[in-house]
Structure 1
């Protein structure tokens, strides 16, 4: 019997091995997602835009429970992320939201700590329409914080306050 209960799982990779890990998982026909951001790097002789992982040492895999061992035996994979004693899963909507954010990433900043709970809002217009977030008064009260559950990361985006509505 084939296990058809596929879910998104966050993985922790070896330091600076995210892209190589993605290659290895893809080579094994495992669906994986590595969120990348474009960053301007400067060397002594030139400047260049390069792609770096949005969340350092994190990669996401879409697998069934039967594939856990195969994933753990992949080059670069350190471990699954646990939350409350169980392997964490990520909702499909959160992966899609992350892809949407990166497609419109004009002003994206990752904070590697949890931010105190704020007012929950829904973005009702603009490039981030449909995304639920937590509002935090930062950067002239124009910053939306999106919390990625089970990861301990938050993402800041800047958008107009006119584009959000409080959730009740």
Structure 2
């Protein structure tokens, strides 16, 4: 529950229009929260880190259903719909927003758990780089999102360190 009887609700936006919806909802006086995370994007052999929506096409808005004209949210630029249960907006659990905000870093990005997607011995395929399309065995992951993979090259097992985003399940 936020101050003055407001509760948090979920708004669905049009594709790639989260930022536009935030601007227009704030202009109408609503408190809005768009959680973001640091996304690594590979393009033209460069890796960029950019803030991307944690829940693409969704954001949160605090509404006092009694005192605010909440129905205008549906016709706001960038908004596709307000998630409802019947005719009324469906509130989310009160601590969801506070738990997300507690996980934010100094740049406002939610810190995600970096648990490895693979366990030791899983067969993986390299999808980028010099060893593209090679199969290997996942060994482990170190602290800075680098993984150790055993590749079979020229009849020998070779341990290679690479970025986590360059492998996928085979």
TM-score of the alignment, normalized to the shorter chain, above 0.5: yes
**Greater Cα radius of gyration, structure 1 or 2:** 2
Q: Which runs of 5+ in 1 are unaligned?
A: 110-137, 141-168
Equivalent in the alignment of 2:55: 55
1:7 aligns with 2:7: yes
The residue correspondences of 1:72-83 to structure 2 (distance < 5 A) are 72-83=74-85
Q: 1:93 to 1:87 in 2, by over 3 A?
A: same
The reply on whether 1:36 has 2:42 as its aligned counterpart is no
**Structure 2: where are the runs of 5+ without partners?**
120-170
Match of 2:137 in 1: none
Which whole-Å CA distance do the structure 2 matches of 1:26 and 1:69 have between them?
Answer: 15
Q: Matches of 1:139 and 1:72 in 2, distance apart?
A: 42
How do residues 1-168 of structure 1 correspond to structure 2 at under 5 angstroms?
A: 4-44=4-44, 46-65=46-65, 66-83=68-85, 86-103=88-105, 105-107=111-113
Distance, in Å, in 1 between the alignment partners of 2:94 and 2:47 is 36
The secondary structure found in structure 2 opposite 1:47 is strand
Query: So what's the TM-score if we normalise by structure 1?
Result: 0.56
Length-normalised TM-score, structure 2? 0.55
User: Is the 2:37–2:112 contact (alpha carbons within 8 Å) kept by the matching residues of 1?
Assistant: no
What is the total number of aligned residue pairs between the two structures? 109
